[in-house]
Amino acid sequence: FKLGMAPFHMWLPDAYEGASTPITGFMGSAIKLAGFGMALRLWWGMLCPISTHWVSILGSLAVLTMFVGNLGALKQRNLKRLFAYSSVSHAGYLVLGLISVSKTGTQINSQNLFYYLVIYGFMFIGVFGILSVIEKSAGSSDISSIEGIGFSHPVLGLCLTVLVLSAAGIPPTAGFLGKYLLFSDAIRSGHVSLVVLAVLSSVVGVFYYLRVLVAIYMTEPSQRTSLVIKDRAVFFAVLACALCMIIFAIFPNKLGI
């Protein structure tokens, strides 16, 4: 329920849309990361002796979660709801990584899962940092509020583009490397069919991410909105998150991978 896995995900879109944008960014990053940290300790700790039973169950739920998240996002115009469903799909990828963790004695090899969690956290904080600025200026988080932002505010538009490309898993961003590492672990663990379905789900997800990019660069804004960034710390935090998507893709060893 806290991880946002289908069919226990229905609270996420309403909660993300109803909460203030900074709180939504916190909910989607820190809380989800803490949840997966707990899941790793629980399933590969106390429940490890019966892993043959729950791995197949979680594998099925992971695939269901990926498709529910990506298909649910296709019809969304509200960006907070869109990224809420995106968060659901990422939970599916992370659970696939969770069941692919290898354990030797008391040592758990969860480096690749850790890498994806850190990348996801920076990505989500960056996206909702930008959405908070847009929502304060435009009074809305509808996709129309970012139309033409790539030209009216080039730096914010570029940061949002990098973050969205990373969320879609498109190279050369860290999101692509994170998915590659998780899928490689899953293949080594024998979950080839799950990886095939995960790749198909990712292809579906690219469509709604491209809608965001089209709005940023290829759509004439229906109304002119002047974005005012009152807190410079927000701007530098967003810029840092976008840079992390490139830096950690080129130097994954900075995160111990």
| DSSP strands (E only) in 105-213 | 107-109
What global pTM score does this model have? 0.91
pLDDT per residue as tens digits for the range 199-254: 999 999 999 999 999 999 988 877 666 676 777 888 899 999 999 999 999 998 87
Output the tens digit of pLDDT for each of the chain's 257 residues.
888 898 998 899 899 888 888 888 888 888 888 999 899 888 888 888 888 888 889 999 999 999 999 999 999 999 999 999 999 999 999 999 999 887 655 566 788 889 999 999 999 999 999 998 888 877 778 888 888 888 888 899 999 999 999 999 998 999 999 999 999 999 998 999 999 999 999 999 999 999 999 999 988 877 666 676 777 888 899 999 999 999 999 998 877 66
Residue indicated by tokens 């893709």: 249
Amino acid at 188: R
pLDDT per residue as tens digits for the range 29-46: 888 889 998 998 888 888
Judged by DSSP in three states, 77 sits in: coil
Distance of CA 26 to the CA centre of its chain: 13
Count, residues in the chain: 257
Amino acid at 46: M
In this structure, what are the phi and psi dihedrals at residue 78, rounded to the nearest 5 degrees? -75, 125
Q: What is residue 64's predicted lDDT score, i.e. its pLDDT?
A: 95
Q: What is residue 160's predicted lDDT score, i.e. its pLDDT?
A: 94
Q: What is residue 257's predicted lDDT score, i.e. its pLDDT?
A: 67
